[in-house]
A and B are shown apart, each in its own frame.
Chain A
Amino acid sequence: MSSTDTPKRSMRTPLGRVRNLGAAHSGTSDFWRQRLTGVAMTLLMIPVLVIIMMLLGRNQAGAAQILGSLPIAVIMLLFIIASAWHMKIGMQEVINDYVHNEKLKLVSMMLNNFFSIAVALASIYAILKLSSGV
């Protein structure tokens, strides 16, 4: 391709064009994952509501038995993973919009990651413990 084909050719390199990739520094991957996890949770909403209804009014032994069964544990795990991921990206967007101090922003981003991962891991651990019956 000769330079005469594109008279107003950009002087920026392909790398320079994508460098920084927006406020979250991750391009459109968070946008896509936010939709992916949102659709996943929408599809899982009815099964999850049914599970919660099944647990109403039961004591710990009854609840543990239901939550420990394989299909229910899998549905809960999928929902937990999708929620944690979705809320981490969502809060990141909120921080990017409202927190303008760069240092405070970094701290908020870290806390957001810590919180989301801690909630996810604690919930996943609980489900796995119930499934293994330990």
Chain B
Amino acid sequence: MALSIVHRATGIALYVGTLLLAWWLIAAASGPAAYANVQAFTGSIIGRLIVFGYTWALMHHMLSGIRHFVWDLGFGFKANEREALTWAALIGGIVLTVLIWIIAYAIGGGR
């Protein structure tokens, strides 16, 4: 498994995605019209796909990062352990993303 490039790619995606986070916070501080623009974007199909992709990138990057912390602490270097950690990050990232979106829709993000 060569997932280090995915860690890097998700990192770059998250880097660009902070523009969305900044836009959202500035809009909240600016007023109702600016905030409505953000909501119109995040509520659109494209917007939802981007935020969904952002959620996955964040969850995968976090779990993949925890994998790196495990290695930094000197554990998980055996071949089967490396494989297990990598698969855990890959599957865990998808599971967490889906879980977050189910909760979000249940709470009211689908409105």
Contact = CB atoms under 8 A, between A and B. Distances in A.
Interface string B32-59: 1011100000000000000000000000
A8 to B, nearest CB: 30
A129 to B, nearest CB: 4
Nearest to A58: B108
A130 B29 contact: yes
A56 B108 contact: yes
A57 B25 CA distance: 15
B14 interface: yes
B104 interface: yes
Interface string A34-65: 01001101100100010001001101110110
B104 A87 contact: no
A87 B18 contact: yes
A126 interface: yes
Chain A interface, >50% SS class:
helix
Interface residues of B, number: 32
B18 to A, nearest CB: 5
B22 to A, nearest CB: 5
Interface in B1-40: 8, 11-12, 14-15, 18-19, 21-22, 25-29, 31-32, 34-36
Interface string A96-134: 000000000000000000000001001101110110000
A57 B108 CA distance: 6
B20 to A, nearest CB: 10
Given A49-B100, A53-B104, A57-B111, A42 B65 contact: yes
Given A60-B32, A123-B26, 6 more contacts: A42-B62, A56-B109, A57-B108, A126-B25, A127-B25, A127-B29
Listed from nearest, the 10 A-B pairs whose CB atoms lie closest are A60-B35, A57-B108, A126-B25, A126-B29, A56-B109, A129-B29, A60-B32, A57-B111, A87-B15, A126-B26
5 contacts: A57-B108, A61-B32, A63-B35, A87-B18, A119-B21
